[in-house]
Copies of this chain bind each other. A is one copy, B any other.
Amino acid sequence: MSEPLRGILLDMDGVLYVGDKPVPGAAEAVAWCRQAGIPLRFLTNTTSRPRAALVEKLARFGIEATEAEILTPPVVARAWLAEHVEGPVALFVPEATRAEFSGLPQLADPAAGGAGAVVLGDLGEGWDYPTLNTAFRLLMAEPPPPLVALGLTRYWKAPDGLRLDVGPFVRALEYASGREAVVLGKPARPFFQAALDQLGLPAAQVLMIGDDIRGDVGAAQAAGLRAALVRTGKFRPSDLEGDIRPDAVLDSLADLPAWWQKNA
């Protein structure tokens, strides 16, 4: 017999909205959770926009949320760094992401060495050989600083075509340095753990809802949560033919209240 469900983690893009369009009924489903007193957190790998911008976007779709309820890789990474790292951190992240790390001591001149940790984000055009080499040399110091990755996303689709995201650069520097990154984003377990810590609930009592069969559903299940797949966003019917079995499949988030009342 499963434990009763008491909390919810919600992926954002593909579940609450698809690009700039709200998913019909999603706002009502979130409002229903609020009324029912079900604690929830929003979980997204988006690192290009600060949380304030995400709060605004949700508000436009009629969804109330606070910054504190939104967990992004930089937010979780900041907490991890504050707990685990002493020296100044070297941030290889876009300008918009840098704000999420305010308050942490930052390395003024990475080329001079001496990082307490090396943090890799979706730096995009900012990645060139000297920058990668600077990150590499920091990682080869003794004692070696931890390599922290803001997710492992492979690529994203820009208007002019596919573009490399943070993941490939993490793999490059892992291979060069012979070390493994601490990944603070989906699908890594510490990212889900940070959300559970905020909810104050054990994994077995929390439902993750997402549109990505691997990054949301499979990853959450691997972290001990139950997981529902929605048939919106990047969902494709073939997602249900693989080795990952969602604990629930919903046509959209609008079906959550009915499912929850019957199954939670």
Within 8 A of B (CB), among A146-165: 154-155, 161-164
How far apart are the CA atoms of A173 and B155 in the complex, in Å? Answer: 11
Closest 9 CB pairs of A and B: A168-B172, A172-B172, A171-B175, A168-B176, A128-B128, A171-B171, A127-B129, A125-B129, A154-B176
Copies of this chain present:
2
Known: A125-B129, A127-B128. A167 touches B176 (CB 8 A): yes
Q: In the complex, what's the smallest C-beta–C-beta distance from A29 to chain B, in angstroms?
A: 34
**What is the number of residues of chain A that contact chain B, defined by CB distance less than 8 Å?**
28
A137 interfacial contact with B, CB 8 Å? yes
A235 interfacial contact with B, CB 8 Å? no
Within 8 A of B (CB), among A103-150: 124-130, 132-133, 136-137, 140
B residues less than 8 Å from A163 (CB atoms) = 133
A–B complex contacts, Cβ < 8 Å, 15 sampled: A124-B129, A127-B129, A128-B128, A132-B168, A133-B162, A133-B163, A136-B155, A136-B162, A137-B161, A137-B162, A154-B176, A155-B176, A164-B176, A168-B176, A171-B172
A178 interfacial contact with B, CB 8 Å? yes
| A interface, CB within 8 angstroms of B | 124-130, 132-133, 136-137, 140, 154-155, 161-164, 167-169, 171-176, 178
How far apart are the CA atoms of A133 and B193 in the complex, in Å? Answer: 33
B residues less than 8 Å from A124 (CB atoms) = 129
How far apart are the CA atoms of A128 and B126 in the complex, in Å? Answer: 9
Closest to A135 in B: B164
How far apart are the CA atoms of A130 and B126 in the complex, in Å? Answer: 10
B residues less than 8 Å from A174 (CB atoms) = 171
Contact at A125–B136, with CB atoms within 8 Å? Answer: no
How far apart are the CA atoms of A165 and B169 in the complex, in Å? Answer: 14
B residues less than 8 Å from A129 (CB atoms) = 124-128, 164
Q: In the complex, what's the smallest C-beta–C-beta distance from A114 to chain B, in angstroms?
A: 14
Q: In the complex, what's the smallest C-beta–C-beta distance from A171 to chain B, in angstroms?
A: 4
How far apart are the CA atoms of A58 and B251 in the complex, in Å? Answer: 70
Contact at A133–B164, with CB atoms within 8 Å? Answer: yes
B residues less than 8 Å from A176 (CB atoms) = 154-155, 164, 167-168
Which of A133, A137, A161 is most buried by chain B, counting CB atoms within 10 A of its CB? A133
How far apart are the CA atoms of A169 and B163 in the complex, in Å? Answer: 15
How far apart are the CA atoms of A129 and B176 in the complex, in Å? Answer: 18
